[in-house]
Structure 1
Amino acid sequence: MSPVAPSAGIGDEGVWFRVESGSAGSTVRRAAERLAADLGLGDRRTADLSIVVAELASNMVKHAQEGTLLLRPVRTSVQVGVELVGIDSGPGMADLAGSSRDGHSTTGTLGVGLGSIARQATWYDAHSVPGRGTVVTAQVWTGPAPEPAWAAGLTRPLTGEQVSGDGYAVRTVAGRHQVLVSDGLGHGPLAAAASQEARRAFLTGPAASPAGMVEHLHKSINHTRGAALAVAEPDAAAGVLRYAGLGNIAGSVVTESSRRGLVSLPGIAGHQRRQVREYEYPYPAGAVLVMHSDGVVDRWQAVDYPGLLGRAPLVVAATILRDSGVRRDDACVLVARVR
C-alpha cells in the first residue's frame, strides 16, 4: 500500500490535546477517527484505534494531572498508521507491567485500561515513575508493526501558536544514520517555514558528513529567516558519534551513569556562521543520543528515571518534553539509539 496524505487538519507534526474531562476524550477520539478515515486505515483498525484513544483518555481523566495527548499520522514506505503519545504528571506507577494486566486497579475500578491499550494497539510502550507521572505511546497500523524506530522526536508549539518553529528529521543514507534538529529563528509560521526547509534539504540532500550536511543546510535555507540547527551521526560499529551544529541546539550522549554534552558553534544557519566544525565523541554500547532546542531546559538526569533509557526513543523524548519543556517557547526533543 502506498502512503496516503494525512488529513488537512492534522499534519505530520500532529496536534496536541489537553485531556482533563470526558468531553476532551471524545474530542480526541473523533479527531482520531477522522484521521484514520483520511489515511484509509480500514474499519477494523479504526475500531482498534477508537478503543486505544478512549482507554488512554479515560485513564488520564481518572488518574492523571495535566494530561496531554498527541495525535499524528505515521508512515513507512509500504503502510500508514496513527500514533498516540499520552503524557501526564500524575501519581505514576511503581509497577507499570502489573498495571497493564487486566484486572489490576489503583482506584477500585476494573483496571483494564492499560491492558486494553497494549492489546488493541499494533505497537505499545510506556514508562512511569511514582511522583512524576506516566508516558504511554501507541501506534495502530494498517498491517503488522514495522521494525522499531531507532530515532523519534516530538515538537510542541509555544502556547498560543498553532505551529512550531522547531523541527527534526531522521534519515538513513549510504549506511549513515543521521538526525537533524532545527530551531527556526523566532516563532510562528516564518520560523516553521525555516525549519521545514531545513528538514526538506536534509532529507533530500547528499550522503555527506554532519559538517558537510550543515554546510548544505546553510546554503539551502538562505531564503528563510534562518535557524539554529545541528546534525548528528551515531555510528555504533565504530563506537563514535559525529556531530556538527550552529546555534543553541543542545546535544548529549547519555548512558545510565554518564552524560556528555556536544558542542555547537555560534551562528545562524542561512545567514551567519563561522567555519563549520565536526566533532567526534565516544558512543558506547547502550548509549542514547538526546538533542533538543532551547525550548527544553537542560536539567534532567537519567538517574531520576529508572529504566527510561531502555524504553523506545519516543518514550524517552516524551518524558524529557514533559518534565523539561517550557511553555513560553517552541520545544523539540529528538532521541536516537543505534545498536
Structure 2
Amino acid sequence: MSGDTVVSLPEELLGEGVWFRVEEAVTAAAVRRAAERLATDLGMPDRRVADLSIVAAEAAGNLVKHADQGLILVRAVRTAEHAGVEIIALDSGPGIADVDRAIGDGHSTAGTLGIGLGAILRQASRWDMYSQPGRGTVLAVQVWPVAPPAPGWVAGLTRPLPGETVSGDAYAVRQDGDRRQVLVCDGLGHGGLAAAASHEAVRTFLSGAFAPPAATVDALHRALNHTRGAALAVAELDTSAGLVRYAGLGNIAGTVLAPDGTRRGMISMPGIAGHQRRQVREYDYPLVPGAVVLMHTDGVVDRWNPSDYPGLLTRSPEVIAATVLRDAGTRRDDAGVLVARPS
C-alpha cells in the first residue's frame, strides 16, 4: 500500500480489532483498558494515550447511559510511517435529531449520545458521525500521535459470529500508483478454519503481483487448495476510465451505488475458491464521480436500501460500513462489509 491510505494491521488486536457489546459500566471500563493497551503497544506517546482513554471512556459510557444494543470496535489504523487507534461506536437507540446541537458540551437528552460528545471530539484527530432518529447513531473516531493522514478512500469491518473469537470474513486493499484493488472473502463455515482460509487469501492477495481481477481470483483459487476454501471477490476501481472491474467466486455481493440513487449489482460466478470453480469471468461497471462501491459477505443481507438513509453515502467509508453492518448484519454468521469511494 502506497501513500497515507489508512489500513488495519493484520494481527489480532492490531488488525480487525476487538468488538465489545456495551451494556454495563464494567464493559465500558474494559473498552477503555483495551484502547489504552493497544495505544501503548503501538508506541503512542503518553499524552495521546491519555486523550484516547478519554475518548474510549466517554464513547462507551454514553452507550451504557443512552443507547440500545451498543457495540464498540477498538482497532489499530496505520500509514507507512505512523499508527493510531480507531474507535467505532454504533447503537440502535433513539438517534440524534440535531447533531450540531448534540456536539456542544452540556447537552444531553434521551435522544443523544449525551454529555461528553464534545470531549470526545476535542481529543480526536478525526471523527465522523451519522445518526437518524429512531434508527440510532454511528460514531467513528481516530486518535493519532501526529497530524492525521488524509481521509482514506476505503474502509472495511468484520464481525465474528457470536460466540466465536475470530471471523472467517476478511478484506484487503492494495494500491499501485493510481491502480486500486480490494478483496472481500468469506472462509467456508466459521471459526478458526474459516479464518485460516480467509487469511491465506489476504496473504496471497497482498503479496502477489498486481493483475486484473479475474487473474487475481484465479491465483487465489489455486492458493487456497489446501484450505477449507472461501467465497471471494476482487474489484479494481479505475477512476480514469470511470469503471469498476470485478470478478468473484461464490456468494460475495458487490454493488455500485451512484449519487443519483441508482444501484447496479456486480456478478460473481458460482463456486468455492480453492475447490470448485467455473471459468472466472471479469465484468466492467460504470463508476461515476461520487459513486460508492459496497461489497459484503453473506453475513449481511441484501435488503439494505440506501434510500432509507438520507445523506449516508456522503459520510466516511468507515461510517457507511458500520451503518450497513449494524442494520443488515445477521447474528447467525460472520459478517463483513467493505466500502470504497475513490473520488
- TM bin, normalised by shorter chain, reads over 0.9
> Which residue of 2 is the match for residue 302 of structure 1?
306
> Which residue of 1 is the match for residue 267 of structure 2?
263
Does 1:290 pair with 2:289?
Answer: no
CA separation in 2, counterparts of 1:180 and 1:159? 24
What displacement does 1:142 show?
1.6
Spell out, residue by residue over 1:84-103, the C-alpha distance to the aligned partner (whole angstroms, 9 max, x if none): 11010000012212211223
Secondary structure of the residue aligned to 2:336 is: strand
> Which residue of 1 is the match for residue 178 of structure 2?
175
Does 1:89 pair with 2:92?
Answer: yes
Does 1:223 pair with 2:226?
Answer: yes
CA separation in 1, counterparts of 2:332 and 2:278? 29
Counting only pairs closer than 5 Å after superposition, residues 133-148 of structure 1 correspond to structure 2 as: 133-148=136-151
Bigger mean CA deviation after superposition, 249-258 or 184-193? 249-258
Q: Residues 226 and 271 of structure 1 are in contact (CA less than 8 Å); yes or no, is this contact kept in structure 2? A: yes
Structure 1 spans left out of the alignment, 5+ residues: none
Does 1:132 pair with 2:128?
Answer: no
- Counterpart among 206, 209, 227 of residue 206 in structure 1: 209
CA separation in 1, counterparts of 2:302 and 2:210? 31
What displacement does 1:171 show?
1.1
Normalised by the size of structure 2, how large is the TM-score?
0.94
What displacement does 1:180 show?
0.4
> What is the identity, as a one-letter code, of the residue corresponding to 1:158?
L
CA separation in 2, counterparts of 1:108 and 1:237? 44
- Counterpart among 301, 311, 316 of residue 312 in structure 1: 316
Spell out, residue by residue over 1:198-254, the C-alpha distance to the aligned partner (whole angstroms, 9 max, x if none): 001111111111111111111122111111000011222211111000000001001
CA separation in 2, counterparts of 1:32 and 1:272? 42
Spell out, residue by residue over 1:86-145, the C-alpha distance to the aligned partner (whole angstroms, 9 max, x if none): 010000012212211223322599954221111101111110011000000111112111
> What is the identity, as a one-letter code, of the residue corresponding to 2:134?
G
CA separation in 1, counterparts of 2:193 and 2:214? 25
What displacement does 1:36 show?
1.3
CA separation in 1, counterparts of 2:341 and 2:266? 16
Secondary structure of the residue aligned to 2:95 is: coil
- Counterpart among 240, 249, 252 of residue 249 in structure 1: 252
Does 1:338 pair with 2:342?
Answer: yes
> What is the identity, as a one-letter code, of the residue corresponding to 1:301?
N
CA separation in 2, counterparts of 1:213 and 1:8? 23
Counting only pairs closer than 5 Å after superposition, residues 234-245 of structure 1 correspond to structure 2 as: 234-245=237-248
> Which residue of 2 is the match for residue 195 of structure 1?
198
Does 1:35 pair with 2:38?
Answer: yes
CA RMSD between the two structures = 2.0
Spell out, residue by residue over 1:36-68, the C-alpha distance to the aligned partner (whole angstroms, 9 max, x if none): 111111100001100101111121112100001
Normalised by the size of structure 1, how large is the TM-score?
0.95
The number of equivalent residue pairs is 336
> What is the identity, as a one-letter code, of the residue corresponding to 2:203?
R
> Which residue of 2 is the match for residue 104 of structure 1?
107
Q: Residues 183 and 293 of structure 1 are in contact (CA less than 8 Å); yes or no, is this contact kept in structure 2? A: yes
CA separation in 2, counterparts of 1:252 and 1:282? 11
Bigger mean CA deviation after superposition, 69-78 or 315-324? 69-78
CA separation in 2, counterparts of 1:208 and 1:74? 26
> What is the identity, as a one-letter code, of the residue corresponding to 1:144?
A
Q: Residues 66 and 114 of structure 2 are in contact (CA less than 8 Å); yes or no, is this contact kept in structure 1? A: no
Q: Residues 6 and 39 of structure 1 are in contact (CA less than 8 Å); yes or no, is this contact kept in structure 2? A: no
> What is the identity, as a one-letter code, of the residue corresponding to 2:160?
P
Does 1:158 pair with 2:165?
Answer: no
Q: Residues 96 and 112 of structure 2 are in contact (CA less than 8 Å); yes or no, is this contact kept in structure 1? A: no
CA separation in 1, counterparts of 2:226 and 2:113? 57
Spell out, residue by residue over 1:255-298, the C-alpha distance to the aligned partner (whole angstroms, 9 max, x if none): 34111111000011111111111000111111100000000001
> Which residue of 1 is the match for residue 329 of structure 2?
325
- Counterpart among 166, 184, 192 of residue 187 in structure 2: 184
CA separation in 1, counterparts of 2:266 and 2:12? 37
Secondary structure of the residue aligned to 1:154 is: strand
> What is the identity, as a one-letter code, of the residue corresponding to 1:227?
A
CA separation in 2, counterparts of 1:127 and 1:183? 28
Taking a change above 3 Å as real, the CA distance of residues 98 and 235 of structure 1, as seen in their structure-2 partners, is farther
